[in-house]
Structure 1
Amino acid sequence: MASSGADNGERAGDDRSSKRQRLPPSHNENEESEEEYEEGFESSEDEDEDDFEDLVTDEQSESSKSSQSVKLQSSDVLDCPTCCEPLNRPIYQCSNGHLACSSCCKKMNKKCSFCRCLIGDIRCIAMEKVIEASIVPCPNAKYGCHETTMYGDQSSHKTLCDFARCFCPVPKCNYMSSYSDLKRHARAAHSWEEGILHSFVFDTPLIFSMNFGRRNMVIFHEEKDGDLVVVQAFKGSKGVYVTVNCIAPMAPGIRNLSCSLAKLSEFSTMRVGLRLDKIRKVSEQIKHEAADMLIPPKMLSGEHWKMEICIGRENKYTHI
């Protein structure tokens, strides 16, 4: 019987059998085996509690993992396959699983652009959850930005990103890059071209000519830091509308510029002080109400006239 008791004791301590052995030992087993059984029974209960705690911990860990955000290498994979714009709730899918944003569903009259099946009635909840939990790099990462944003909040960062792409203002030049790269490009690629870029020094007046016969735009390039300033003129029914802008993103780290702009004539002078708006691309059109100066016809003589500009930092010339 001693061997039986020892055998029972070994079973009580055996992880594989302790959870199964719940009945008391037979009446002919000695007290030692009963004590071993009780110890094994208590051990079994403790192990069950430990296993339950481990299970709860594992479930909580999995829940924690599922609630974490997912970082993607690119946001393109989550863009609407039809319009290529970021997906926003609600997101719909056709019976074949093709996705489309709600605006595309309306534009396509609820016809899938891929298989022409009905789309616009079945929500894709899974994709909506994915985009809510996705962290994506800035679209300007290839230009040097290291910021990441939630997929649905990209627009706010893009507007203020230091690396937002800017376009070269020189006609027929298709170069585009970050603000700092664009300044280097202008100096390297266009500074030697006669009449393309006009160098300027801060707080130094500069007289220049506008000529509708050749071009209605003059580009200024700061000698030291390379800031790019563009003056454009557009003919209108009430005269010539002139606007002055700085080629730069709206990022808070980019300094602001102001200027004194004057139309010179033989008998009179028109002068305004203004803060330069930041634009990333030159437009070939202008809204007349957005013009910085309106030159009346009486101050114009033909297609050619002279102007003066003095460019400074921040708001130095805004109170003229």
Structure 2
Amino acid sequence: MQIKDGVTWYTKKEVFAVVHARRLALDESQFEDWQKKGIVPLGRKVGRGRGKGVEVVWSAAQVGLVCKVCALRQQQGVRGVAAQCTIPVWAWLYLGEESGVELTQLRRAMHTWAQRQAQESKKEAKERAREMVELVGNDTSSEQWRYARRKIAEALYGGKPAGEQIGLALWEVYARTRQANGPAEIALTPELLDLYEEGRRLGREVLLQERKLSDQRWWWARHIQLKAVKEYGEQQQRYSQETAGSVVAEVFAVDMVGTLLSSACEDVAMALGMEELLLKQKDQVVRERFGVDWWMERVRSVRLEVKQEVSPLVLLDGSHPGGLRLKEVVST
């Protein structure tokens, strides 16, 4: 180990020693495969000094990330590549640069994830079609629901732009004369899910393109996701109360932290897709509302500061509730 500028750095041999000391399994081939996919960091090349060449080292935060991936695979059965990609992406989103995840790794992880999402299986297409129909459907005709599920599953499994076909199918189970499912501020209408599907599709397409996305585009995607999470978190209790007892009650009563971890890659892809839509948007008012031009043209670097906060309130067990306060430090 070596300490430089207050950061402890580990060689590969030392990384493996830390992992194995925690009774976690990891071999050379698995480590290299994860590096290629962006699941674990590539490390940083540093000089050995006195003409002894270079070696690759990892920060303490990066070693912790490697251990986390190993632990989730070994102890919780997280073995799917797409699921493993969510770990570094979640860390970059909500823990920032201190997590040890750099944009180089993030790009690899998101590209790997997008490759796994490029073609949905029939089973996945049917499951997502069922979820979409249940979210939007406020018409009780079982025949219409079956028709909509079938048409949406066909569109999703086809692997082609299917927004229009999905939207038309959802209108079959949605009645304008009835109240939409969900809170009043987030009415689950065919238009909303149509927009969601378009953003999702565009996000995957952008990630699979050969051209490299600028740093600014990744920073904006994180910015808009953090903003959405903050705004939703402030209203979550009200949304939960508003939808209690309804068919979508579970959607608005879930544990936010757990949901954010499992959906990290999906959320970043969605943000990139919406960003693509905004960059093509000719309405300047809409573009300014989301600040997309300012971020693309003016922002030079972004650092996410994370601070642990403890509330002065005392719970019944004598503990104090705590949380993380996230602050984006933007340089122009």
- The answer to whether TM tops 0.5 is no
For the aligned pair, the TM-score class normalised by the smaller chain equals under 0.3
Tell which has more relative contact order, 1 or 2 (C-alpha 8 A, sep 6+).
Answer: 2
Q: Which of the two has higher C-alpha Rg?
A: 1
Between Structure 1 and Structure 2, the one with more helix by share is 2
